[in-house]
Structure 1
Amino acid sequence: MNLTSSRLLFLPMEEQDLSFMKRFLCDGELTRWLPIDYPCPMKQVHIHVERRLSHWDHHGFGTFVLYETDGARPVGYCGLEHVVDSPFIDLRYGLIQKVQGRGLAFEAAVRILEYGFEGLKLPRVYGAAMTGNRASVALLKKLGMRPDTRFDCYGDNLFAASVDKLTFEQRVSPCMEAP
């Protein structure tokens, strides 16, 4: 299953994406806002990718690797995954520094949420960002996510939020129509 948006191609994560994920997850600047102990040693990167692949195998959806439509190298990842030992489905995303600040994270997240609500028929999607990561907190809010105390999977230092389909559509549709 591949998805597209106006500037991005979404390909399900595969074993061959290990080298990209290694570069991403071993970079302290790229991982400083992740809610777990990163940058990763190589063994943890392997475990991380294996978990993404296993999620696809068990659930039929998961994390996509992102490519700009005019590029050959991955620029990030975005997807929906079950949070272990919980009923929550979490929006996950990250971009390499070279492409940050161009609206690609929002574009990717919108497309993934559309897929989640329309294709997967999810009733609600959750998201979390470290409170100090103002850009990520703003992105979640722009997607229509509001604080949700039920989503306490990653600890207290996070903005934990959720959005349902109707709220997402009401919040995002006007944003996507603007040039």
Structure 2
Amino acid sequence: MKTIYDFTVKDRKGNDVTLKEYTNEVLLIVNTATKCGFTPQYEELEKLYERFHSRGFEILDFPCNQFGQQAPGTDDTIHNFCKLNYGTEFPRFKKIKVNGDEAEPLYKYLKEQKSFAGWDMSHPIAKILDDMLSKEDPEYKEKPDIKWNFTKFLINKFGLVEARYEPTEKIDNIANKIEELLNK
């Protein structure tokens, strides 16, 4: 059975990183952007990281410029922005594509494992995204593509995808599931 440990990605300097390095850890894999309405989630992600990191939790940050060109700049510029503005300490990788023919193989795999999870319509941005995406493609909800920045995939200690969270998901819901997986 294929797991995320079968993939190698590039760190922000272009070096190969095998995801086997994260064996036996709970992971949250996130596609991010520095100029997005969801960018303040970096603060929430860093709090999750600080809370759970010492117990075997890691966040893997993959900047992506596919949604409204909201991740401009170089890998170093993005990294410095996140460190300066949000104090992030979790690993950041090379900017990637998450959809289309040029999508990072890891993301092709993640989308095969968990399709679109639906918006939390109580979030103020959810209706805006739903309206915008529905105009572009009335059947967008049926497709596994990543819909926007800050989509998150939760990976268990065996390298299997446990859950997909859209950017409108409450961070407390994600934290509860992380806690559950760390305690298994």
- Is the TM-score greater than 0.5? no
TM-score using structure 1 length: 0.30
